Amino acid sequence: SAAVQNALQTLLPQIRAEIREEFRTSSRPSDAGGNPSPITIHTWLERFNKQKPYSFEKATAPERLKREYHSIRQTSTETST
């Protein structure tokens, strides 16, 4: 939805900055060549989920409520006939 898109566009610069900072200041062990170990997608997702903004949840709430409303309405229509 538009609200999710707007929230994402607002948060992307901050997320990018945090990722860059993590790469810059990371104290991960180095491999034999002195290069830091790469961050896996699992590590990144775990960190992102800890910081996941509640705005995504709020932005999807209207859609969820519409689905619930239609589900309840359909159920009440089925039982009233």
Dump pLDDT digits (tens) for 4-42: 888 888 888 888 888 888 877 765 555 555 666 677 888
Dump pLDDT digits (tens) for 43-70: 888 887 777 665 555 656 667 777 777 7
User: What is the per-residue DSSP string for 30-68?
Assistant: B-TTSPBPPPPHHHHHHHHHHS--HHHHHHHHHHHHHHH
Evaluate if pTM is beyond 0.85: no
Torsion of CA 6, 9, 52, 56, to 10 degrees: 20
Domain ranges within the chain, ordered by starting residue: 2-28+37-80
Q: In this structure, what token pair is assigned to residue 53?
A: 């903004």
